[in-house]
Amino acid sequence: MTFTVEAFSEGPFELGEGPHWHPQLKKLFFVDITAGFAATIDAAKKVQVLHQEDAGHTVSAVLPVEGQDNQIVVGVDTSVYLVDVATGEKKLLDKLATGGVRFNDAKCDPKGRLWIGTMGLETAPGVLTPEQGALYLLSKDGKLSEQLEKVSLSNGLAWSLDNKTLYYIDSFVRLIYAFDYDIDTGKIANRRVLVNMNEDSDFLAAELPDGMTIDANGNLWVAMFNGKRIVSIDGKTGKVIDVIKMPTSMVTSVCFGGPNLDEMYVTSIKKFLDEKRKAEEPLAGYIFKVTSTKKDFKGHLPNFALQF
């Protein structure tokens, strides 16, 4: 078989998301959005909770801070906090004035700038009021500025290998956009559609593009929520070039990691499945590790840490 998929966690999470590989710590950072925590997991499957919110609050993203071993940045509801893991101290960086939304996926660009998006509040999985969200950039002084408006469900982010293109997913409309990217200023321009899943027969009607990453060949790997698969997409043509079948339907995000960046980590959801589907998908909510016999199955390690 080309791909081997195995459980990387010992048990399921409610709504696993936001995986980032930390090469120095040799750990995977991730969040459980609805359980409200940010954590790491290592090769021994040991989970360390870095930050836990009170019940009823979402934690949508976690990123380490460069040069600060005990500091992380987390997206909580509509706020961005700097957290000292050692003391538990939480410092507010900025908070949105907008209601009816929450933060979702976030990543740092190759210069260490934090990009984080919002989505309308769901009444059911993938069911929300459209165009309530936006995409934001966090400045060096910790302030959020809106870079893109009328987003419905802000999700996956990735930068091309030459740093000249930002790839971006709005899950609700099933589109992957490409923008010209100025790495020196962080400015985006010239939005165009790379993939329209509403018009491409390679995509299932029920699936939504969720989190994504980019490999060493410049191809995107996208977690297909409700699709039970990861798809690889040519970063220039937008065509599907490979598929990884997953043991659960609601996969949420993906990243490369491991000592040689030849392992793929995939997060997933258990919370939204009914009892019948939970019985059919006993590994729902687990974190997975994917390996491959393909020699070019290798990640491009993006910048994973915030720089102030």
d(CA 283, CA 189): 41
What's the pLDDT tens digit per position in 261-308? 999 999 999 999 999 999 999 999 999 999 999 999 999 877 779 998
Structural domain spans, the chain: 3-292
What's the pLDDT tens digit per position in 128-186? 899 999 999 999 889 999 999 999 999 999 999 999 999 999 999 999 999 999 999 99
Q: What's residue 182's pLDDT? A: 98
What's the pLDDT tens digit per position in 98-127? 889 999 999 999 999 999 999 999 888 778
**Among 210, 215, 234, 262, the one annotated catalytic:** 210
What band does 208 get if pLDDT is binned at 50, 70 and 90? very high
262 as an active site residue: the answer is no
Q: Is-contact 65 81, C-beta < 8 A?
A: no
Q: What's residue 69's pLDDT? A: 86
CATH number for the region 3-292 comes to 2.120.10.30
What's the pLDDT tens digit per position in 37-63? 999 999 999 999 999 999 999 999 999
Question: Strand, helix or coil at 195?
Answer: strand
